[in-house]
Amino acid sequence: TDNHSNFQTNMLSIPDLIKKKRDGMKLSDEEIKTFIQAVTDKTIQECQTGAMLMAIWQKGMVAKETVTLTKEMMTSGEVMSWPDEWAGLVVDKHSTGGVGDKVSLVLAPALAACDCKVPMISGRGLAHTGGTLDKLESIPGFNIHQPIGQVQEILASVGCCIVGQTEMLVPADRVLYALRDATSTVDSLPLITGSIISKKGAESLSALVLDVKFGRAALYKDLNSAKELAQSLVEVGNGLGIRTAAVLSSMDTTIGRCVGNSVEVIESLETLKGNGPDDLMDFMICGELLRMTGLVSELPEGKKRISDAVVSGAALSKFQAMMEAQGVARETAQQLCSTHTNYYSILRKSKHQMELKTQDSGVVMDVDGLCLAQILHKLGAGRSQAGAPINHSVGAELLVSLGQRVNKGNRSMTVTSEIPPINRLQNCLILGSDANTQTCQQSLVKEIITH
């Protein structure tokens, strides 16, 4: 019994841990471990977890605490392990969410075509940002639920897969994620960092690039707060032994020309067929990942290898193989990947199709991505509550680009939905006079952070 009482005196109780953090003190590795273990085993009361989350939100954590928090969350469940011959080749990217962000659908197969292994565990859409899993589920038969053994088989045969978080991966995150929402502690740097990096850490990656968005249509409205998050993510990722870099990119308009689910799958397939818009064909993130794995020595060389994989059709074949490996019928996958295909013979089409026309002449100064996403969300393309169904066929395609001259009555956008679309869509497009054209052409990527 002596040992037992010693153990008791060394261990702070959960209320003591909460008090310690509430009073602004640093938690030791052991104390953080105790907290996360209690969360995972459900031996802590929900109100205590909520109180600890609020204490962390109020007082923050130093880098060492955040690394420990993330590591404990990561090891709260199963951690993937890969064959030795894949050493250095297992890579992934994570985006903090944007409008029309279909980059993963192009990036995963392109990286697989360059000999990387991409075990992408992705998320669903919530609020106005779309989720990669929702987009893929607009393809009939595509199954995002794959057990870990199956993920390894798909990576061996294809090289990439895009799946949802399984029950066994990072269970502590699932509990904390739900409670953060309920306790208004979502926007805390250590908690966001822990949530993102623990899931990526459980993939046992060699290299990771984070695409941290800032701007009107992003979670972070300004560059500085996005940069703070990027630095925290990079520091903790590297602290877990993953080579980690972050790209800061602006998110005021949309990525590509399409926003929705089915329409974004079509745009991704068109990009893989070599007909993509410029911003989707900018392979900065992929190039950086190839550089980090050592497959190439310089970023431009990395971008060129990815570009070659897309132009040659190698990335498209990987996407087709991935669809088949994840449950899509072979004919369906072949048809989606063939040139000049009729996508809507496979993907669901909405009842209403409406073309918007420009109401004035001028130059397209701005496309308000947030405004567009929120309207499509109301039309059924998104969800307000986790687990709610969405309508994959709702979407919009922009027919004009920034800086383009338009005349009154030009076609500006097509919208598909089950109910007639709302007139507010006109407000998403902002026209101006010639004088200001310079301001609207901007590069998306602002900087890369590697340490």
Residue 441 lies in a domain: no
Structural domains of the chain, count: 3
Same domain, 322 and 387: no
Residue 301 lies in a domain: yes
Residue 451 lies in a domain: no
Catalytic residue list? 92-95, 132, 180, 195, 199-200
Same domain, 331 and 353: no
Same domain, 423 and 363: yes
Same domain, 232 and 317: yes
Residue 251 lies in a domain: yes
Give the CATH number of the domain where residue 69 resides: 1.20.970.10
Nearest residue to 206 via CA among 379, 35, 85? 85
Instruction: Tell me the one-letter amino acid at 139.
Output: I
Residue 324 lies in a domain: yes
pLDDT of residue 258: 93
**Contact residues for 132 (Cβ-Cβ < 8 A; gap 6+):** 102, 104, 105, 120, 122, 123, 162
pLDDT of residue 7: 45
Residue 421 lies in a domain: yes
Which of 300, 317, 337 is a domain's end point?
Answer: 337
Same domain, 222 and 283: yes
Same domain, 224 and 323: yes
Same domain, 109 and 199: yes
Render each residue's pLDDT in the chain as its tens digit; 451 residues: 444 444 444 567 999 999 999 999 999 999 999 999 999 999 999 999 999 999 999 999 999 999 999 999 999 999 999 999 999 999 999 988 778 889 999 999 999 999 999 999 987 766 666 789 999 999 999 999 999 899 999 999 999 999 998 888 899 998 998 898 888 898 899 999 999 999 999 999 999 999 998 988 787 888 899 999 999 999 999 999 999 999 998 888 888 999 999 999 999 999 999 998 888 888 888 899 999 999 999 999 999 999 999 999 999 999 999 999 999 999 999 999 999 899 999 998 888 888 889 988 999 988 898 888 888 888 888 776 767 788 889 999 999 988 899 999 999 999 988 887 667 888 888 888 765 554 555 556 778 888 7
pLDDT of residue 129: 67
Q: Are 440 and 366 in contact (CB under 8 A)?
A: yes
Residue 12 has, within 13 A of its CA and on its CB side, a CA count of 17
Nearest residue to 173 via CA among 149, 201, 151? 201
Which of 280, 305, 337 is a domain's end point?
Answer: 337
Residue 343 lies in a domain: no
Give the CATH number of the domain where residue 130 resides: 3.40.1030.10
Same domain, 304 and 160: yes
pLDDT of residue 128: 62
Residue 442 lies in a domain: no
Which of 280, 308, 337 is a domain's end point?
Answer: 337
Same domain, 52 and 110: no
Same domain, 133 and 268: yes
- Its domain, for residue 159, covers 84-337
Same domain, 27 and 175: no
3-state secondary structure of 352: strand
pLDDT of residue 4: 47
Query: pTM score, two decimals?
Result: 0.89
241: left (phi over 0), alpha (psi -120 to 50) or beta: left
Same domain, 93 and 60: no
Give the CATH number of the domain where residue 401 resides: 3.90.1170.30
DSSP letter string, 65-93: HHHHHHHHHHTTS------GGGTTTBEEE
Give the Cα separation of 413 and 400 in Å (integer): 7
